[in-house]
Amino acid sequence: MSEMISGAEGLIKSLLSEGVDMVFGYPGGAIISVYDKLFDYQDKIRHILVRHEQGAIHAAQGYARITGRPGVVIVTSGPGAANVVTGLSDALMDSTPLVVISGQVASAFLGTDAFQETDVVAMTQQITKWAIQIRRPEDIPDAVARAFYIASTGRPGPVVLDIAKDAQIGMMEWQHKTCDYIRSYNPMPHVDSADVLEVAELLNNAKHPLILSGHGVAISNAEEELLQIAQTADIPVAATLLGLSTINSDVPQYKGMLGMHGNIGPNIATNKADVILALGMRFDDRVTGDAKKYALAPKIIHVDIDPSELNKNIKVFKAINADAKSFLSSLALFIKPNKHDEWNKLFEQCDKVEYDEVIMPEVHPNSGKMKMGEVVNAVTKAAGKGAVCVTDVGQNQMFASRYFKYSAPKSFISSGGLGTMGFGLPAAIGASMGAPDRTICLFVGDGGLQMTIQELGTIMEHGAKVKIVLLNNNFLGNVRQWQTLFFHSRYSQTHMLNPDFVALAAAYAIPGEDVTSREDLPAAIDRMLSHDGTYLLNVDIDASDMIFPMIPAGGTVDNIMLNENKKFSL
């Protein structure tokens, strides 16, 4: 018989056997026993003490997105658990594996409105892949094994383990438990070879094929297979927001980003293609615009690991429930070499218009205040190969996603489905913790930065290395843009009186500088990149700058605004 240990210690041993060596968290009364045991295991598990639980969960998301392994979060009951709700919702939308452990009042007090009791399972059921309460210490090893299995397999997602105090304190006989099978859960659909052959045939015969690469390609590590197919058959590839960096920016077959602020070529091509292969993406309304009028001509083949995404937002010609990597590696065997010069001309034409009308004035302006696009462009050039782009939400996110150059897989981290302001800084911290050797560039607005700015304290204490590029327009820029375009320039509650950000960073022992003129930008970027640690660039941005091209919400993908007054046409 093995020796008896507490549930709290059992939890830590189970985390260790899942390979966990880093957790993000914040202590409190209902989780104090676990923290007490963590004290004994400091050499094996590094605990990153954040400044707010929202910071913990977004950091864990950043960590999970860059490593592909579940991020682990530990919080207390009631307010601690409530503070991770935004992150759970974000992680579910963006298929991010997380295991969130929350303390809970002792089981005798459940349902009595005890101090710091909230019904965490009920509260999180709709925003997690799985949420359970544990009331007995002996249930911990099984629950942890299941949690990691569920979080990381199939379509990944967040899992909550709500552990009552008595289960943490009570004694148990710990056993190593693993989980690779649950009767009611079948995460790895079988790839049907008939489907593969049919799709190969469709693609081989297509005159105007188009691949839409989504987050699923990154999650399943199918970047190489994608590249091979795209290059062999010369098939243009467009990426969704979270599909960015599934194919390098300099690959000729890569044609840019889809969606509301995506590149013109891919959006226009959506309606002109004859066959579309959509991989690990979900036809979100920011990609489709008016779903009823989306891509009516092409035969769409939709491959996704989550069957509930198939035929959900749009009806497709062929729906295939499969893991992107398994599917693509089979498909690659049947793809014939091909050339699509004629079809590629469409992208060249679109690119030319986009370059002249949108990119040129954004990236190389010669007068006026600085623009977000030119800053992102300067940073990405200086940061070089392998750099990671983390964004917050708003104009900063769209400019960063559009103008950053991706030269390695897993190089883009952003809150896509939920669009959570405040995601950027903590996610960048987590990414830096997960990949300390990569250059992590964060692009963030003055609004979003202040939503989780307390995490500068986490950086100070734990030494994450984040290149913080604050695109500061003293406005909630994205909302301001909509007010300009659709609400008669009535800037209701979008102007912000901001603090001295560089002084604020300095208070946290983080160096930084204000950049107010274009001439100073390159040298400032060099100082930021060559500093060994976090550095803040507070860049003074033209508040009237707007992100274009733009497909207005609910519009069709070929109805593209080039600027306030001009529509795209070929």
Ligand X SMILES: Cc1ncc(C[n+]2csc(CCOP(=O)(O)OP(=O)(O)O)c2C)c(N)n1
The footprint of ligand X (CB under 6 A) covers: 392-396, 419-422, 445-448, 471, 473, 475-479
**Which partner, ligand X, another protein, none, binds residue 308 by CB below 5 to 8 Å per kind?**
another protein
Tell me 3's DSSP state. P
**Which partner, another protein, ligand X, none, binds residue 311 by CB below 5 to 8 Å per kind?**
another protein
Q: Which is nearer to ligand X, 329 or 452 (CB)?
A: 452
175 counts as binding another protein under rule CB under 8 A: no
Stretch that binds another protein, among 266-274, 280-288, 306-314, 418-426 (CB under 8 A): 306-314
Q: Which is nearer to another protein, 58 or 146 (CB)?
A: 146
- CB atoms < 10 A from the CB of 509, how many? 12
**Which partner, another protein, ligand X, none, binds residue 430 by CB below 5 to 8 Å per kind?**
none
**Which partner, ligand X, another protein, none, binds residue 121 by CB below 5 to 8 Å per kind?**
another protein
Stretch that binds another protein, among 7-15, 50-58, 302-310, 430-438 (CB under 8 A): 302-310
- Look at residues 13, 60, 2 and name the one whose alpha carbon lies nearest to residue 37: 13
Q: Which is nearer to another protein, 186 or 516 (CB)?
A: 186
549 prior amide bond cis, ω within 30: yes
Close Cβ partners of 519 (under 8 Å, ≥ 6 residues apart): none
Close Cβ partners of 205 (under 8 Å, ≥ 6 residues apart): none
Stretch that binds another protein, among 55-63, 101-109, 181-189, 381-389 (CB under 8 A): 181-189
Residue 72: CA atoms inside 13 Å, Cβ hemisphere, count? 20
Stretch that binds another protein, among 12-20, 179-187, 231-239, 443-451 (CB under 8 A): 179-187
Q: Which is nearer to ligand X, 421 or 466 (CB)?
A: 421
SS (H, E, C) 236-247: CEEECHHHCCCC
Q: Which is nearer to another protein, 294 or 423 (CB)?
A: 294
CA-angle at 473, arms to 469 and 474, nearest 5°: 115
517 counts as binding another protein under rule CB under 8 A: no
Shortest distance in whole angstroms from residue 142 CB to another protein: 14
**Which partner, ligand X, another protein, none, binds residue 445 by CB below 5 to 8 Å per kind?**
ligand X
CB 260 within 8 A of CB 286: yes
129 counts as binding another protein under rule CB under 8 A: yes
- CB atoms < 10 A from the CB of 569, how many? 8
Q: What separation in angstroms does the CA of 250 have from each of 302, 354, 412, 559?
A: 26, 17, 15, 27
Q: Spell out where 1-97 has E strands.
A: 4-6, 22-25, 46-49, 71-75
**Which partner, another protein, ligand X, none, binds residue 182 by CB below 5 to 8 Å per kind?**
another protein
Stretch that binds another protein, among 80-88, 129-137, 392-400, 486-494 (CB under 8 A): 129-137
**Which partner, ligand X, another protein, none, binds residue 512 by CB below 5 to 8 Å per kind?**
none
Question: Given candidates 4, 126, 224, 507, which one binds another protein under the rule CB under 8 A?
Answer: 126
Q: Determine the Cα–Cα distance for residues 70 and 20; give it in Å rounded to an integer.
A: 9
Q: Which of residues 238-277 bind another protein (CB under 8 A)?
A: none
Residue 84 phi/psi, 5° resolution? Answer: -100, 0
Shortest distance in whole angstroms from residue 186 CB to another protein: 7
Shortest distance in whole angstroms from residue 124 CB to another protein: 11
Question: Given candidates 43, 113, 180, 532, which one binds another protein under the rule CB under 8 A?
Answer: 180
121 counts as binding another protein under rule CB under 8 A: yes
Tokens at residue 341, please? Answer: 């010069």
176 counts as binding another protein under rule CB under 8 A: no
The number of residues making up the chain comes to: 570
DSSP H/E element including 99 = strand 98-104
Close Cβ partners of 339 (under 8 Å, ≥ 6 residues apart): 234
Q: Determine the Cα–Cα distance for residues 82 and 23; give it in Å rounded to an integer.
A: 18
Q: Determine the Cα–Cα distance for residues 539 and 522; give it in Å rounded to an integer.
A: 12
178 counts as binding another protein under rule CB under 8 A: no
- Look at residues 193, 213, 244 and name the one whose alpha carbon lies nearest to residue 65: 244
307 counts as binding another protein under rule CB under 8 A: yes
Question: Given candidates 4, 21, 173, 186, which one binds another protein under the rule CB under 8 A?
Answer: 186
Tokens at residue 541, please? Answer: 């941005």
Q: Which is nearer to ligand X, 28 or 448 (CB)?
A: 448
SS (H, E, C) 311-340: CCCCCCCEEEECCHHHHHHHHHCCCCCCCC
Q: At what angle do helices 264-272 and 341-354 cross, to 10 degrees?
A: 140
**Which partner, another protein, ligand X, none, binds residue 10 by CB below 5 to 8 Å per kind?**
none
312 counts as binding another protein under rule CB under 8 A: yes
**Which partner, ligand X, another protein, none, binds residue 36 by CB below 5 to 8 Å per kind?**
none
Torsion of CA 287, 292, 294, 298, to 10 degrees: 140
184 counts as binding another protein under rule CB under 8 A: yes
Q: Which is nearer to ligand X, 151 or 421 (CB)?
A: 421
DSSP H/E element including 63 = helix 53-67
Q: Which is nearer to another protein, 308 or 516 (CB)?
A: 308
**Which partner, ligand X, another protein, none, binds residue 236 by CB below 5 to 8 Å per kind?**
none
Q: Which is nearer to another protein, 146 or 261 (CB)?
A: 146
SS (H, E, C) 133-195: EECCHHHHHHHHHHHHHHHHCCCCCEEEEEEEHHHHHCEEECCCCCCCCECCECCCCCCCHHH
125 counts as binding another protein under rule CB under 8 A: yes
**Which partner, ligand X, another protein, none, binds residue 183 by CB below 5 to 8 Å per kind?**
another protein
296 counts as binding another protein under rule CB under 8 A: no
* Residues lying near another protein in the complex (CB under 8 A): 121-122, 125-126, 129-133, 150, 180-186, 306-308, 310-312
